[in-house]
């Protein structure tokens, strides 16, 4: 009868709705695209723009996270030469840099591939090599940071290549993206500068005036030191190699761009701490605010 037919249709409709509500949707896994390897610092330098980085000697991600808050910095210089930092600390600080979109750069303890490979494997996008003297020293430093055929960097199960899972992709770009930053901090390096600037693969020559003055046997106010740095500047500009240095103020950095400087570190974490405390008490008992007589400002007031 009609009532029975309507009841049947209603039952079928309810059944269909229930089945649809509990049906297993069609699904297939979708693969996330890994974040590509990039180096914005190298891109900026290629365009002739200055870059600025924090100088970190405190082994805490909190320091890097706080440096990132104002939004001005491009990179972080992770200081592993004059600190107790081992590769494990550098790796954790590298993660912090990546989380804050800052390019991680490490200064390693010495020019030794067996040591440096442990640091570069953390995933840093730049390596600063200290205490170089001869053309051979500089050539070795470049080659240890590059895979064959450009160098002799070994392959390994490293975070940088995500433990070989992205090795093919990483290897294809590493020689181009991982910056080679070499220190000019010995008198021999100054004397050899005309040959050093001809070495392929150098991204930045970073001036270390304190060690350079010690090696030359002069103080930081010496015109001999200033002339040595000027000679490096002239040679580097001739071959289009950016210079790096510590910049106590923004005006100091911008003023040195005419000499070929593009790669700057702001005052370090330790200096910011003691300067902050000193400035808090400026005026008490004759205390002056830190700034004009900061050690780093010898660059501004004496050398240039």
What 3 state SS string does 1-67 have? CHHHHHHHHHHHHHHHHHHHHCCCCCCCCCCCCCCCCCCHHHHHHHCCCCEEEEEECCCCHHHHHHH
- Count of all residues that appear for the chain in the document: 304
Q: What is the pLDDT of residue 291?
A: 54
Give CA–CA dist 272/294, Å, rounded: 11
Chain centre distance of CA 54: 9
- Could you tell me where the DSSP H helices lie in the chain? 2-21, 40-46, 61-68, 87-99, 113-120, 135-144, 167-177, 187-191, 193-196, 209-216, 223-238, 250-256, 269-280, 298
Q: Which residue has the tokens 């030469």?
A: 81
Distance CA 66, CA 2 (A): 77
CA distance 93 to 272: 19
Q: pTM of the predicted model, to two decimals?
A: 0.87
Buried/exposed code over 206-219 (b: 16+ C-beta within 10 A; e: otherwise): bbbbeebbebeebe
Q: What is the pLDDT of residue 293?
A: 45
pLDDT of residue 22: 67
Q: Which residues, 6 or more positions from 44, have their beta carbon under 8 angstroms from its beta carbon?
A: 50, 51, 74
Q: Rounded to an integer, what distance in angstroms lies between the CA atom of residue 220 and that of residue 2?
A: 107
- Per the CB < 8 A criterion, the answer to whether 266 and 247 are in contact is yes
Residue 195: CB atoms within 10 Å: 13
- pLDDT for position 304: 40
Confidence (pLDDT) at 3: 60
Q: For position 86, what pLDDT does the model report?
A: 97
SS3 213: helix
CA atoms within 13 A on the CB side of 151: 25
What is the C-alpha to C-alpha distance for residues 75 and 104, in angstroms, rounded to an integer? 6
Taking Cα atoms as reference points, which of 183, 124, 118, 113 lies closest to residue 148? 113
For the chain, residues with pLDDT lower than 70 are: 1-5, 8, 14, 17-24, 286-304
């Amino acid at each position: 009868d009609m009532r029975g037919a309507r009841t049947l249709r209603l039952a079928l409709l309810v059944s269909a709705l229930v089945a649809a509500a509990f049906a297993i949707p069609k699904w297939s896994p979708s693969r996330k695209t890994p974040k590509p390897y990039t180096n914005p610092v190298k891109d900026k330098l290629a365009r002739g723009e200055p870059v600025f980085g924090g100088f970190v000697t405190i082994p805490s991600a909190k320091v890097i996270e706080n440096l990132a808050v104002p939004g001005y910095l491009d990179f972080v210089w992770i200081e592993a030469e004059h600190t107790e930092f081992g590769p494990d600390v550098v790796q954790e600080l590298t993660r912090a840099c990546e989380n804050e979109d800052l390019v991680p750069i490490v200064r390693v303890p010495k020019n030794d591939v067996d040591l440096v490979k442990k640091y570069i494997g953390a995933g840093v996008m730049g390596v600063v090599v200290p205490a170089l003297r001869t053309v051979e020293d500089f050539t070795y430093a470049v080659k240890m940071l590059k895979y064959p055929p450009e160098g002799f960097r070994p392959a390994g199960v490293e975070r940088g290549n995500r433990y070989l899972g992205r090795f093919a992709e990483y290897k294809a770009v590493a020689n181009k993206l991982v910056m080679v930053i070499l220190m000019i901090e010995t008198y021999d390096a100054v004397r050899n500068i005309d040959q050093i600037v001809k070495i392929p693969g150098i991204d930045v020559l970073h001036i270390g005036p304190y060690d350079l003055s010690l090696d030359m046997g002069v103080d930081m106010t010496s015109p001999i030191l200033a002339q040595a740095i000027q000679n490096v500047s002239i040679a580097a500009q001739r071959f289009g190699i950016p210079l790096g240095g510590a910049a106590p103020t923004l005006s100091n950095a911008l003023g040195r761009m005419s000499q070929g400087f593009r790669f700057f570190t702001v005052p370090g974490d330790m200096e910011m701490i003691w300067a902050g405390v000193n400035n808090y008490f400026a005026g008490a008992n004759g205390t002056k605010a830190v700034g004009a007589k900061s050690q780093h400002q010898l660059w501004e007031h004496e050398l240039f």
